[in-house]
Structure 1
Amino acid sequence: MEILELFVEYKQYYMIGIKTTIMLSLFSLIIGTSLGGLLSLLRLSKFRLLKAISTAYIEVFRGTPMMVQIALVYFGSYVLFGVDMNSFIAALIAVSLNSAAYVAEIIRSGIQSVDKGQWEASRSLGLSSSQTMKYIILPQAIKNILPALGNEFVTLIKETAVASTIGVLDLMHASKIVQSSSYKAFDPLVIVAAIYFVLTFSLSKLVGVLERRLSYSD
């Protein structure tokens, strides 16, 4: 009961935290998907330089912690450019760049999952590579890509908790405010854990429904 009372008393902070967490994750996924789509095409390119650039980007961002990336963007913006960047914008940039690396692999895998015979059949019909990708490959690949993007969104909901380290008022930062105001260290974390679970569990179920519907349409 004490935990419930604590949530009710400080619910305004948790509500702001939920809103910020969802906004940061959603906007990062949208930007990351746009950049990731470009990276995946570069990764599949026949030009070695473009392929190498894309591969290097993906390996660097997948091989370093998101917390470090957020700190580099936040503090680096001032050190390198003299820009006192807003913490939410800094987190959005860093998380988007990070997500793009994972989305690039999701899209690449989705494209490569389409039977290679589709390319050959398209060429025999006189379609260009861009036409084949747009009208033949992507409509089929999207069935594998969409559920994976849903899972990426669920992952971002959890991983963006590190944005609190630079002062973003997400769920984790909200719990710190409640801890300092209530002088309770444990209960606010239990509340945050429960909120994260509800968010990710609900989204995972929705992704599962989407995946089943897409599989039925085959």
Structure 2
Amino acid sequence: MSDALSEREEPTGASSGLLANDNLVRRIGEVVAGLFLAVVLGVLGWTVFSEVDPDLLQTIFPRFVTAYLLVIRIVIVSSILSVSAGIIVGLARISSSPLTSNVARGYIEFFRGTPLLFQLFLIYFGIPSLWGTGQFPISDWEIPAAVIGLTLNHAAYVGEAMRGGINAVPDGQMEAARSIGMSRVQAMREVILPQAWRNALAAIGNDQIILVKDTSLLTLISVPEIMQVFRSVNSATFDPWTPLVWVCLFYLAVTLPMSKLVGVLEARADWGSDRKSLAKRLGSRMPGGGTS
């Protein structure tokens, strides 16, 4: 009897030991995280109070605001174009036509397989060289080249995300839509793409945040963006820390709201409501308007 009782008590004891170990691991993690935070805040505080010049910080602020507004405009245009083009690339990637699919695949492999800086140089320096000296029709080529480069690069990533999102939708949904008389295009537009978009939303959102950070490379093609202002101030004052404060804050002023927006969009992806809406759309096309 006592042996049987001890055997029954062993799982409880083992469970208690496991919980104790889990609590220990959690406490160790909290201590390590707290120490890391303290070190980071200490270094930042020491740097701000000892290395940052408040007068210079105020003086250069308008220049960073101008650069920030330019970055916002570039990001908005490039994001809209890259997401729009990426959806088309994703659809082409799953096309039943081998030619269309292979061309889209080649596009994705090229722009994902070569550095963005190479692509910017190719567009900024290579395209004007196709004209004779001084004959290129666009005088201020920096910003158009930046938008084109960012759009082409990130459309490849969005396209691959959309391909994955479409492939994650069960095949039966396309079959069900076709069985009630929808064309393939109608089924893709009304049934598959809304779900594929939600499947790919996190990846697309992360890519657009990366697009913001990629604008730092535009300084190398003479775009007067945030990093270009930093380089100018640093070369004139030999003070890297003061302008770096504004660099950090202005980039975070773009990326943090974008991260929040992506989180809100993901949270609003109510799959239950989507299924009801999908059933309603499909049901309205069935004979008699039923939703069986």
Normalised TM-score (structure 1): 0.91
Kindly report which structure 2 residues correspond to 1:40-51, keeping only aligned pairs within 5 A, or say none.
40-51=90-101
Larger Rg computed on CA atoms: 2
Aligned partner of 2:181 among 116, 126, 133 = 126
Preserved contact between residue 14 and residue 174 of structure 1 (Cα < 8 Å): yes
Kindly report which structure 2 residues correspond to 1:30-109, keeping only aligned pairs within 5 A, or say none.
30-82=80-132, 83=136, 84=139, 86-109=141-164
Supply the RMSD in Å over aligned alpha carbons. Answer: 1.9
Q: Once the 2 structures are TM-superposed, how far is the Cα of residue 3 of structure 1 from its aligned partner?
A: 4.5
Preserved contact between residue 60 and residue 243 of structure 2 (Cα < 8 Å): no
Preserved contact between residue 3 and residue 191 of structure 1 (Cα < 8 Å): no
Given the alignment of the two structures, is residue 197 of structure 1 paired with residue 252 of structure 2, yes or no? Answer: yes
Partners of 1:3 and 1:44 lie apart in 2 by 55
Query: Which structure exhibits the higher relative contact order, with contacts defined as CA atoms closer than 8 Å and separated by 6 or more residues?
Result: 1
Letter in 1 for 2:110: V
Letter in 1 for 2:63: Y
Aligned partner of 1:111 among 166, 190, 195 = 166
| 1:54/1:190 CA distance change after superposition, 3 Å | same
Partners of 2:129 and 2:240 lie apart in 1 by 35
Given the alignment of the two structures, is residue 209 of structure 1 paired with residue 264 of structure 2, yes or no? Answer: yes
User: What is the percentage of aligned positions where both structures have the same residue?
Assistant: 39
Given the alignment of the two structures, is residue 17 of structure 1 paired with residue 72 of structure 2, yes or no? Answer: no
Q: How many aligned residue pairs are there?
A: 218
Match of 2:208 in 1: 153
What do residues 74-102 of structure 1 show as CA deviations (whole Å, max 9, x unaligned)? 11122113425521111111111101101
Given the alignment of the two structures, is residue 29 of structure 1 paired with residue 79 of structure 2, yes or no? Answer: yes
SS at match of 1:156: helix
Letter in 2 for 1:113: A
Partners of 2:129 and 2:115 lie apart in 1 by 21
Partners of 1:212 and 1:165 lie apart in 2 by 38
